[in-house]
Amino acid sequence: MGRSVYIYTYGCQMNVHDSEKMRGLLVRDGFAVARRPEEADLIIFNTCAIREKAEQKFYSQLGRTKLIKKKRSSVRIAVSGCVAQECGEGIFKRAPFVDFVLGPQNIRHIPRMLAGGPRGVCVDDNHEIAAEELPPDRDSSIKAWVSIMYGCNNFCSYCIVPYTRGREVSRPSGSIVSEISALRDRGYREVTLLGQNVNSYRGDTDFPGLLRRIDATGIPRIRFMTSHPRDLSDDLMAVLADLPHVCEHLHLPLQSGADRILGLMNRGYTYDDYAGKAKQLRNMMPGIALTTDIIVGFPGETDEEYQSTVRALREIEFDGMFAFKYSPRKGTKAFTMRGQVSEGEKSERLSSLLLIQEEITRARNRTLEGTIQEVLVEGTAESDPGMMTGRTRSNKIVNFESSMDTVGSFIDVKIDRAMTHSLWGSRTDSH
Ligand code: 5AD
Ligand code: SF4
């Protein structure tokens, strides 16, 4: 077989990073990275199963890829990620032209699978996953994803992740810290620690302990995701407030503002618990940005309960929100719950929620007008290639006039204008 690979990546940051790891393994084995799937000898679909829409997106792209294989039968097609784990051999039934299926806990086996028989499936539970050191081929030379734990033990009733990514396993802190020190030495400016529930990290230290050790490496910016509100301890809040390199941003999924729904979701907190913690965080760190995830139309959600979520958004004033229509996932507890909400109702709730949050986000962003923010310059702005773009410590996108040679450096930008999805400013100084 030839030696070039193209990877399609769907879903979350764990998947983005898993793709970097697979690419790293293959590049180490002599693979080149193809620019287009038509030119590749190996096409990998790193899939997401979190909502039906993500799955459909993958299946329609897979359908189009069948034509490539028709024209060029030597091309190999692999399906990895959460849909692979969920469907296993079933993928072959639906798409007989697929050659390999491997779940998220088995990505390190891709070279071995390619060397093996014509077809292969690897969807075993792998508890050694945390010990494996895979050499990622990273997309960026400024910001790096770093896995600190794998899997999830929460079993929120709507969520498929515990079934696809297995039980929680934490990576030893020494291995995490040495990876980050090496990244710092190579000039990386930012790391984002990844795990389904990072604050239940339990290596040879707990999550606040891990953050202290990472902060001491001197890597300029530290972020992490995702945190569970139930596990957000006073100690973690103190560490967030105290450590100089840990950025003032917390992504803390609320999911719903109604206690009955939170109970059915098996989230382990009430709205008041959550609001109390949010208040404490804002008292300790007035500049902290809080972002969240919301699901609308969970089974049995009444209009009143939806209104509780609206009230929660207005009370907490998140800096940003990702909202989703509940998507029934086979095998989860919520799949068989009564009172499934109609598609029309879900769409209405979603679009009105997005409008409400947009206003709140814009108002939050406006409070930054006139302030000076430290920005890590990432490249040219998407909406205007004549401008440069970067992020504040609070993770807000800032566009400003500057030159390409500032990429990778920290500069001070005065915020002139705040929009919903970005801030616009002018450079005041570099350091
Ligand atoms: N339907 C809709 N949204 C979901 N999420 C997880 N599972 C589902 C589902 N079945 C959302 C949650 C989570 C985010 C990553 O995806 O809000 O925080
Ligand atoms: Fe990531 Fe969850 Fe999607 Fe798997 S199902 S790719 S863990 S978001």
Q: What is the arithmetic mean of pLDDT over 85-108? A: 96
Q: Higher model confidence: residue 171 or residue 129? A: 171
Q: How far is the CA of 49 from the centre of ligand 2 (A)?
A: 6
Structure-block tokens of residue 41: 């000898």
CB-ligand 1 contact for 326 (6 Å cutoff): yes
Rounded to the nearest 10 degrees, the angle between the axes of helix 303-316 and helix 271-284 is 10
> Residue 59 class from Cβ within 10 Å (0-12 exposed, 13-18 middle, 19+ buried)?
middle
134 pLDDT exceeds 50? yes
Residues forming beta bridges with residue 388, ordered by sequence position = 380, 400
The pLDDT value recorded for residue 1 is 59
Closest ligand to 104 CA? 2
Q: Does ligand 2 come within 6 angstroms of the Cβ of 81?
A: yes
- pLDDT, one tens digit per residue, over 272-319 is 999 999 999 999 999 999 999 999 999 999 999 999 999 999 999 999
- Give the ligand at the shortest distance from the Cα of 13: 2
* Rounded mean pLDDT, 101-130: 88
Buried b vs exposed e over 95-106: b needs ≥16 C-beta within 10 Å? beebbbbbbbbb
Instruction: Say which range, 39-48, 110-119, 135-144, has the weakest mean pLDDT.
Output: 110-119
Residue 368's closest CA among 289, 292, 284, 252?
Answer: 289
Cα 353 to its chain centre, rounded Å, is 22
Q: What is the per-residue pLDDT for 431?
A: 47
Q: How far, in Å, are 59, 312, 394 from residue 345 at the CA level?
A: 26, 20, 34
Could you give the domains of the chain? 4-122 (3.40.50.12160), 129-366 (3.80.30.20), 372-430 (2.40.50.140)
Nearest-CA residue for ligand 2 atom 6 is 48
- Structural contact between residues 297 and 258, judged by C-beta atoms closer than 8 angstroms: no
Q: Which residue has the tokens 């690897």?
A: 122
Asked whether 397 and 380 are in contact (CB, 8 A), the reply is: no
Q: Ligand 2: which atom is nearest the Cα of residue 104?
A: 4
